């Protein structure tokens, strides 16, 4: 079936609008995270992590969800850059702001407690927020695997991996594509570290 020309134009416009709003979020995140590097020895620009997470999220989708990809790009902007929920709501709408809030730790709590709460809350956040959470953990485990922070012992790397595994295993509706990728990354980490 061919669509009437007007329908094709509006479908095309919706696609263009979606691409524009994703790039707008990428641009905003790049600006806010500009001074930040990843913790690994390679010290990659932090935006690499955000683009990787957004790409992973998009690979797990079976239908378009522009706001989820935008939220993936912005998932660390409140935690790391002191951007407020209000600002995100104004710029990107309440759906995006709520998704980002769901994956934002309460920084007033001690680190240990924040990590414990991530495990406990993994099953309580929305299915869409769980996709971001899972993609974030894949990106972090990949990074620790390929470029661990210089001052992290093997034991500390393993502890991180263990904790990330607990968070992922507590997700109530893990995205199947991303869960398989997490499991691969996890297994690869362990076999590489055994060889060395």
Name the active-site residue from 79, 87, 95, 183. 79
The answer to whether the Cα torsion of 37, 125, 159, 60 is positive or negative is negative
Nearer to Zn ion among residue 33 and residue 92 (C-beta): 33
Q: What is the rounded CA–CA span in Å between residue 28 and residue 132?
A: 18
Q: In the complex, what is the shortest distance from the CB of residue 144 to Zn ion, in angstroms, rounded to a whole number?
A: 13
Nearer to Zn ion among residue 65 and residue 76 (C-beta): 76
Q: What is the rounded CA–CA span in Å between residue 119 and residue 115?
A: 7
The answer to whether the Cα torsion of 81, 58, 190, 168 is positive or negative is positive
Q: Are the beta carbons of 73 and 51 closer than 8 angstroms? A: yes
Nearer to Zn ion among residue 17 and residue 175 (C-beta): 175
Q: In the complex, what is the shortest distance from the CB of residue 48 to Zn ion, in angstroms, rounded to a whole number?
A: 11
Overall residue count recorded for the chain in this entry: 196
Q: In the complex, what is the shortest distance from the CB of residue 137 to Zn ion, in angstroms, rounded to a whole number?
A: 9
Q: In the complex, what is the shortest distance from the CB of residue 162 to Zn ion, in angstroms, rounded to a whole number?
A: 18
Name the active-site residue from 80, 95, 105, 183. 80
Nearer to Zn ion among residue 142 and residue 189 (C-beta): 142
Nearer to Zn ion among residue 22 and residue 74 (C-beta): 74
The answer to whether the Cα torsion of 20, 26, 30, 31 is positive or negative is positive
Q: How many CB atoms lie within 10 A of CB 181?
A: 19
What DSSP letter does each residue of 13-51 carry, written as one string? HHHHHHHHHHHHHHHHHHHHTTT-B-SSTT--BHHHHHH
Catalytic: 79? yes
Looking at the chain, which runs of residues are DSSP E strands? Answer: none
- Under the rule (CB under 5 A), what is the footprint of Zn ion? 76, 136
Q: In the complex, what is the shortest distance from the CB of residue 85 to Zn ion, in angstroms, rounded to a whole number?
A: 17
Catalytic: 181? no
Residue nearest Zn ion, CB atom distance:
136
Residues with active-site annotation: 79-80
């Amino acid at each position: 079936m061919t669509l009437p020309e007007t329908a094709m134009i509006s479908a095309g416009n919706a696609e263009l609008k979606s691409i524009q709003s994703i790039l707008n979020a990428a641009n905003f995140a790049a600006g806010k995270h500009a001074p930040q590097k990843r913790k690994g020895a390679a010290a990659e620009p932090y935006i690499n992590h955000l683009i990787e997470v957004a790409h992973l999220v998009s690979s797990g989708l079976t239908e378009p969800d522009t706001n989820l990809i935008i939220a993936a790009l912005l998932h660390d902007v409140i935690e790391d850059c002191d951007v407020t929920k209000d600002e995100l709501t104004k710029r990107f709408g309440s759906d995006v702001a709520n998704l980002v809030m769901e994956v934002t730790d309460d920084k007033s709590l001690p680190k240990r407690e924040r990590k414990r709460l991530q495990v406990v809350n993994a099953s309580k956040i929305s299915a869409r927020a769980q996709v971001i959470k899972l993609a974030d953990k894949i990106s972090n485990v990949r990074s620790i695997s390929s470029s661990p922070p210089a001052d992290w012992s093997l034991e500390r790397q393993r502890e991180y991996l263990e904790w990330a595994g607990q968070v992922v295993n507590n997700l109530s509706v893990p995205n199947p594509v991303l869960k398989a990728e997490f499991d691969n990354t996890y297994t690869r980490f362990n076999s590489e570290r055994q060889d060395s």
